Structure 1
Amino acid sequence: MNRNKALSVAVIASVLALSQMPVQAAESLGTVTGSAQGSSGFFGSSPNVNTGETPPSDVQQIQKFKQDTTNAETTITRGQYEMLTPTDSYTQSLQNLPNAVVVSSGDSMDGDDVYINGFSKSLINFTLDGIPLNDNDSYTYYSNEFIPSVLVAGTKYYPGAQSAAIPGLASFGGSIETYSLKPSPYFFLRPMVGGGSFGKYNYGGLVNTGLFLKNIAPTSAWLYVNTNHRDGYFQNNGAIQTQFLFKSVTQIGPGALTLFFTQNNQRFNYYNGATAAQIAQFGNDYNGYTSNPFLANGRPNTFYTGYNYNRYLNWLGYGKYEGEVGKVKFSEQFYYYYGNGYGAGATTFTQTLLTPAGSVQRVAPAANQVLLRNSINNTHRWGNIVKLAYPLGPVDTELGFWFNHNNTTHDAQYFNQANVYLGSTYIEPVVTDTYEPYIVFNYKPVERLKLTAGVKYLYANRDFKNYVALAQGQPGVFNASFHQVLPSVGANYQVMEGINLFANFTQNANPPGYNQFYTGVFNPSLAPQKANTYDLGLVWNRGFWKGELDLFRVDFRNYILSTTVQVGSFNQTVLANAGKAINQGISWQNNFVFNDQLSAYANVGFLDARLKSAGQPFPYAPHHTESVGLIYRDGGFKATVGFNEIGNAYYNLGGKFLPLGSRFYTNASLRYTLNNMPLSSGGFGLKKVSLGVYVNNLFDRTWIQSYSGSNANPNLKLNLPANVYATLDASF
């Protein structure tokens, strides 16, 4: 689809389509709203934002800073999320953070790779409504699985480990705590549609029940259904995604019961990239996949797009009861996650398979055919988070306990082209149990000084089986356990009204991934990776100018690297605690609210991130980042423009560091909301209509996102060119 046609389609879609309810005077939910904020007594409280409103301060600024914090903390507001399209992964909101890089492998709809202070997303702790989301076996995380940007109340970002009170693992690069919107006390129905460049569109809606069962158990709930679709700018890179989410809050006794469910069902094709010569010959939208299943010589084409795609279904549900009895605040949250999906591919090579008969055999494809592969990942995960906060004399005390049970089976299945199952190259169930109790004390010896001290204990046990090895008479049953005591201390001092200093030290650790069992030789003495995080910062509120300056250093110890050892007369590869790394720098964030109409933000970061043991830089660790933006509001109009620059960085391909170069891009949005529609008075009528137009990469800049293939002849994966998306939604 050419760009002029795409823009026409976007505008037409927005005109034909049907955002938010107007902010109304608060109606009592009994004590539902108050109890829903019960977590405000705990570290990492959720933003108090309902589906029917966006706080005025969130419209004026994209980020907020906590004045009395004993650690660096940024809240990303609804104002930032309103600058994203419905098809974007919510992690696009992180791109304005200092020293942060958000990379889409073709399109954010497929999920984003996130790098903060040089650490990849497998070394960043992600949570949703307090629930840790990283896989407990490999710490991977897929940002498009759990919640769309339109349902995010806000996100709290803590660089580094920061506090013993944050549940989860892999927080070397920080914690990204995202919270879903709360139900509104008012009924509304909001259909939504949108369309834009490259055949992308969405349709769906949100319904909020309003308050019901007022005299029995006051309850309010919302329900969201949406479908995202794209043809794909790059050849054969189409995708479709269906989302379903539900949330309710019910007042029961001294607390509130929150029920939540999210489901994501998605299929997307791979984009393989192209060599520089192919781009020169065929243009930027060319990639190595083709629609021809066979080559000219009759051999199967293993890049045939019909065999190269991902398909995944996942859902997450939780029940949380929280409230307050006297001076004691409590929270009990049980959750369950299920994920089942696979990456589909094909090969012309002979495979060693564990067959359904239980034997291990070499299996080759028939002449002029391929073996089809489904790399299955089936996960069951459940856990519980308990919190208790109470005053102990002059000391505020918080106790907590997180337990997580993770059961994942990795199965690489092979089929012939008649779809008959032939066997698997590996079948590996992994069971990991994680226990994490913590205690935190907050004390104010004088009015201007706040002190925090805490400790977390980490214990994890992992069982691993390799059925292919067992069928061959080789060792295939392994177990490992890990434990670590992790302290945290912090202080905040008010220098004068509106200016505070803070300092923090926190230790973090996470056990090795399950790949310690199949990389060369099992190393039973492999220890958890550990890091010490140091922060020294300044937070200020000078009226129109608010900001935070943070100097940080992460000393990474016990970094796990592949190391060659001699076993008998042979060299083997083994994972070992062989590495040390340094991630240090400056983070400077600023908000400016000039008047009711005009506000701005300016964030700058400087970073030094390197693996000391190997003398190598961290991938996607730019020396500097800058983001500057303006927000203008006039009546129903809201316009934003943001400029981002990311310095030089590198990509690791097969142990070789290839340059990514610097990048500069501009995103803009324009939104018009018409309130108090003629049909809004009384009953079920049209109350509000909102039209939005979003332009990404406004000046059509091109840069290298990543590489694929071999480091001798790498393929280039490029960013999306300038693209536009328009939305129109209404509230009844």
Structure 2
Amino acid sequence: MSGLWGTRRRAALRSVCSLRCLYLGLGGAIGIAAAPAMAQTASNAPVNLDLGSVLSVGTGSAADLVNTPGTAPYEAPSKAPLNASQPTSQVTKNTISNMTTGTESYVTIATLTPSVSAISPNGPGLQEANGPVMRGFQDGQYNVTFDGIPVGDSNDFTHHSTSFFTNQQIGQVIVDRGPGTASTVGDATFGGTMSIRTIDPTAQRSITPYGEWGSWGTNIGGATLNTGAIQSANGASAVVDAEHIASNGGKTNTPQERTNFFGKVVIPVGTSTTVTLLADYNRLFQSFDTGATSDQIALFGPDYGNNTDPTSQAYYRYNTDHITNDMEYIDVQSNFGNGFLYDGKIYTYGYYHHGLNGADANGQGLPGQPLPAGAVPNLVAYTPGGALVTGVPGQQMMMDYRSVGTIQRLEKDFAWGDLMAGFWFDHQVNTRFQQEVILNAGNVPNYSNGTNPIDRLQHNQLYTFQPYGQFDWKPIDGLTVTAGVKYAMFRRALNAPVNQGTGLAQGFDHTWGKALPSVELKYSFNPNLSAYVQGAEGFLAPNLNTLYIENLSSTTFKPETTINFQGGMAYQDQHLALSGDIYTIHFENFLEKVGSGANKYYTNVGGTIYRGIEGEAAYTFDFGLTAFANAGYNQAFRTSTNIQITQAPQGTANFGLIYDRDGIYASVIDQWTGGEYSGNTGIGAYASSPAGGKSPGGWYDPYNVVNLAAGYTFNHLSPNLNQVKLKVNVDNITNNQRVIFDNGTDAAGQLWYYTLPGVSAFVSLSVPINF
């Protein structure tokens, strides 16, 4: 265990050093930004320069519609901003507050937009979602940002939907279905960007206790404090939120408990600079659901998750996650005058995941029946080369990492347009550890597979540097031509005393880079109607798993890239919000493992074509009713074989009705997810997939989930008690619990299936108290 102890000491040291660097940077940034600010006039108010995502929804009078209750842009669950120059959908706080439950994460919110799907078998937000998938791109192939900061695991660029911010702290979710402009930064921008915006302080000073109670023993309790503008502090304001979530989960024996603290402070400095400080801390414990075999579903029902038998690998206390994460940043926005605008962020975020799992959880067959051939038996060894005895085998894992980085942006406005330049730098240090353990003996090492129980011990680092330059040219009224280039540079360094997949002590250090041009044309016909076309390249650095080979010197592949072409339009007026787009994406240099043993290596084997059409529409009647629908038709297939890729639904749709008037809010939404291949059909005796057998992999038919929401807002109950809100959510009202996908296979080759969670109901109450 000395290696693990050393790893923990290094992780603690990294955490202290990273925070120290952050605080030093914060102090320096405030000093630099404040110095010129005092000389500015009130007319040079700062603007938000976070150009990594779309922040506003239009120009001229149409810009106000999204904030005007009773209009189509306000009521639509998802709408395209009028200033978008690529396919973009926005879900605002109005929809998040009225339509979703308090446990939901950004993942389930994003499924309200076209071409986005996700699987949440334990209920919304009550386990990490499988996905989401955007246009067929998997998690790790697109970007996720929090307040413009790219986040993710450096080993494969994936994300964790139950980490960082809760539903209460999300102000809006913006889904950009494309690589964006040169100024769009991130490790995996080529599949698009999901941009999560946290809540801002409100003008009204208040404290809002809130709670939610519902199915599966779910309880939420929290409070939000808004200071309002503090005149003695030059109008500074803050919002602080504390929240606790507890639930038994939608599957049996899959509890989750989560505690979160969030704070944001906005400080005007002089008359032309704003400094924003944010800190977030999140702690989570959960017993997770790996999926169930068809025999287990038939015997125990579709809501089977884990069991309560301490002698079983599927015991719920043996399949757990303990996750702690935090994020801190300082953002300085300033108008220097003469058309110069500045936006700079310095940030850090950390993710600390310690977990357990049964070696073959839910792969042991049914109670009282023989162990399936190939399954992992309950045999362990307490010493190297020792005799096998009865015990519960499993794995103990750890993944700890911290990122420290900065995003710096500068813009100069001219009469003909503007020039922009900037860069993103990020350094993540990641330690990954896993060893075989005996779960029913205090997690002591298990030597049943030899003399070394450690499966992996890796110290890896990822350096990312992305400078860019971009200009907007406005040759005529209404037309904006945007062109730019970004250079994406990635350096991956691996120091592995025990490398995953090989078990060898290995090291590797390599740098990849590519210039990524982009060009966009956007034309505003009038304040309500705009259209755009875009062409851009995307780039994805190789995942760490490409280094799980014995001969690292054979790693000569090219990174995966995309060439994107898309065009679309957006229209908004008081009664109608309408948008549509068409796209084609050529995914090049697809990576695939070839060979075996010491001769195994990765190579480029071709590409994939992604193409489709997407649309959104909402119409609001004068009496408070809104009808809405959105849909995406998506194709994704290998260019060499024309075979559809796996885990890519061939379409999505949302449609329904909303009533919002005189304090009453009610909605019904039908979410449809198209059919998809899983790529798994079972192994050996289990090679016939009960879910279907469409070649080349297991096929899952389309499915629908219908959700209801209804609430009433009590306005002006007293001078200090306003907008008290009572709400009811009923999800999956048809109680559809069918098999919708699989989570791979167990050791014997049986598929582990995911089913939809059954019908659930939640009641929530929030009580804003103004003072």
TM bracket, shorter-chain basis: 0.7 to 0.9
Q: 1:620 to 1:518 in 2, by over 3 A?
A: closer
Correspondence 1:229 to 2:242: no
Whole-Å separation in 1 of the counterparts to 2:45 and 2:207: 23
Whole-Å separation in 2 of the counterparts to 1:573 and 1:383: 35
Residue of structure 2 equivalent to 1:67: 82
Correspondence 1:595 to 2:588: no
Please tell me the residue identity of whatever aligns with 2:292: A
Report the alpha carbon displacement of residue 610 of structure 1 after superposing the two structures with TM.
1.5
Residue of structure 2 equivalent to 1:714: 751
Report the alpha carbon displacement of residue 365 of structure 1 after superposing the two structures with TM.
8.0
Residue of structure 2 equivalent to 1:575: 602
| 2:349 paired residue among 337, 342, 362 | 337
Q: Deviations over 1:18-52 (max 9, x none)?
A: xxxxxxxxxxxx9999999621584535469xxxx
Residue of structure 1 equivalent to 2:693: none
Q: Give SS of 1:123's match.
A: coil
| 2:418 paired residue among 396, 410, 414 | 396
Please tell me the residue identity of whatever aligns with 1:547: L
Residue of structure 2 equivalent to 1:324: 335
Q: 1:41 to 1:704 in 2, by over 3 A?
A: closer
8 A contact 1:619–1:649 mirrored in 2: yes
Correspondence 1:387 to 2:402: no
Correspondence 1:659 to 2:699: yes
| 1:88 paired residue among 93, 104, 114 | 104
Residue of structure 2 equivalent to 1:22: none
Residue of structure 2 equivalent to 1:292: 309
Q: How does 1:249-260 map to 2 (within 5 A)?
A: 249-253=266-270, 254-260=272-278
| 1:675 paired residue among 712, 715, 720 | 715
| 1:158 paired residue among 176, 179, 182 | 176
Q: How does 1:510-525 map to 2 (within 5 A)?
A: 510-519=540-549, 521-522=551-552, 523-525=554-556
8 A contact 1:376–1:413 mirrored in 2: no
Report the alpha carbon displacement of residue 615 of structure 1 after superposing the two structures with TM.
4.5
Q: How does 1:581-660 map to 2 (within 5 A)?
A: 581-595=608-622, 597-613=624-640, 615-653=642-680, 657-660=697-700
Report the RMSD for the aligned CA atoms in angstroms: 3.0
Q: Deviations over 1:523-582 (max 9, x none)?
A: 4312211001110212223552221110001100011112227xxxx7733222223101
Q: Give SS of 2:735's match.
A: coil
Report the alpha carbon displacement of residue 252 of structure 1 after superposing the two structures with TM.
1.4
Q: How does 1:147-546 map to 2 (within 5 A)?
A: 147-212=165-230, 214-253=231-270, 254-287=272-305, 289-294=306-311, 301-326=312-337, 327-347=339-359, 362=384, 367-371=389-393, 373-392=395-414, 394-416=416-438, 417-420=441-444, 424-468=454-498, 476-495=506-525, 498-519=528-549, 521-522=551-552, 523-541=554-572, 543-546=574-577
Q: 1:292 to 1:153 in 2, by over 3 A?
A: closer
Whole-Å separation in 1 of the counterparts to 2:603 and 2:529: 45
Structure 2 residues not aligned, in runs of 5+: 1-37, 58-65, 360-375, 447-452, 683-695
8 A contact 1:309–1:345 mirrored in 2: yes
Report the alpha carbon displacement of residue 216 of structure 1 after superposing the two structures with TM.
4.2
Paired residues, number: 675
Report the alpha carbon displacement of residue 196 of structure 1 after superposing the two structures with TM.
0.7
Please tell me the residue identity of whatever aligns with 1:507: E
Residue of structure 2 equivalent to 1:23: none
Whole-Å separation in 1 of the counterparts to 2:767 and 2:677: 45
Q: Deviations over 1:169-221 (max 9, x none)?
A: 21233111111111113211111111111111111111112222x24443111
Please tell me the residue identity of whatever aligns with 2:431: T
Q: Deviations over 1:36-90 (max 9, x none)?
A: 9621584535469xxxx97535652223323343322222212221211111112
Whole-Å separation in 2 of the counterparts to 1:529 and 1:473: 27
Report the alpha carbon displacement of residue 224 of structure 1 after superposing the two structures with TM.
0.8
TM-score under structure 2 length normalisation = 0.82
Q: 1:124 to 1:363 in 2, by over 3 A?
A: farther
Stretch moving more, 376-385 or 157-166: 157-166
| 2:94 paired residue among 53, 61, 79 | 79
Q: 1:418 to 1:42 in 2, by over 3 A?
A: closer
Whole-Å separation in 2 of the counterparts to 1:613 and 1:561: 13
Q: Give SS of 2:282's match.
A: strand
Whole-Å separation in 2 of the counterparts to 1:476 and 1:351: 31
8 A contact 1:650–1:661 mirrored in 2: no
8 A contact 1:42–1:389 mirrored in 2: no
Q: Deviations over 1:321-372 (max 9, x none)?
A: 112111211011011111111220244789999x9xxxxx946686222455
Structure 1 residues not aligned, in runs of 5+: 1-29, 295-300, 356-360
Report the alpha carbon displacement of residue 248 of structure 1 after superposing the two structures with TM.
0.6
8 A contact 2:327–2:347 mirrored in 1: yes
Please tell me the residue identity of whatever aligns with 1:625: T
Q: 1:562 to 1:596 in 2, by over 3 A?
A: farther
Q: Give SS of 2:498's match.
A: helix
Q: Deviations over 1:374-419 (max 9, x none)?
A: 2100101110000111124523111120000010000114455145
8 A contact 2:551–2:598 mirrored in 1: no
Please tell me the residue identity of whatever aligns with 2:349: Y
Q: 1:507 to 1:412 in 2, by over 3 A?
A: same
8 A contact 2:355–2:397 mirrored in 1: yes
Q: Give SS of 1:278's match.
A: helix
Correspondence 1:727 to 2:764: yes
Whole-Å separation in 1 of the counterparts to 2:153 and 2:520: 29
8 A contact 2:53–2:176 mirrored in 1: no
8 A contact 1:466–1:476 mirrored in 2: yes
Whole-Å separation in 2 of the counterparts to 1:32 and 1:84: 43
Report the alpha carbon displacement of residue 619 of structure 1 after superposing the two structures with TM.
2.8
Structure with the higher fraction of residues in strand conformation: 1
Please tell me the residue identity of whatever aligns with 2:77: I
Whole-Å separation in 2 of the counterparts to 1:630 and 1:530: 40
Whole-Å separation in 2 of the counterparts to 1:302 and 1:233: 20
State the identity %.
Answer: 23
Q: Give SS of 2:111's match.
A: helix
Residue of structure 2 equivalent to 1:111: 128
Report the alpha carbon displacement of residue 688 of structure 1 after superposing the two structures with TM.
3.3
8 A contact 1:610–1:618 mirrored in 2: yes
Whole-Å separation in 2 of the counterparts to 1:558 and 1:694: 45
Report the alpha carbon displacement of residue 723 of structure 1 after superposing the two structures with TM.
0.8
Q: Give SS of 2:545's match.
A: helix
| 2:145 paired residue among 100, 103, 127 | 127
Whole-Å separation in 2 of the counterparts to 1:177 and 1:425: 35
Stretch moving more, 90-99 or 545-554: 90-99
Report the alpha carbon displacement of residue 520 of structure 1 after superposing the two structures with TM.
5.0
Whole-Å separation in 2 of the counterparts to 1:412 and 1:66: 45
Q: Displaced runs of 4+ in structure 1, greater than 6 A?
A: 30-37, 348-353
Whole-Å separation in 2 of the counterparts to 1:216 and 1:540: 42
Whole-Å separation in 2 of the counterparts to 1:603 and 1:365: 61
8 A contact 2:550–2:598 mirrored in 1: no
Q: Give SS of 1:492's match.
A: strand
Report the alpha carbon displacement of residue 424 of structure 1 after superposing the two structures with TM.
2.6
Whole-Å separation in 2 of the counterparts to 1:503 and 1:558: 25
Q: Give SS of 2:607's match.
A: strand
Report the alpha carbon displacement of residue 249 of structure 1 after superposing the two structures with TM.
0.4
Q: 1:701 to 1:365 in 2, by over 3 A?
A: farther
Q: 1:448 to 1:217 in 2, by over 3 A?
A: closer
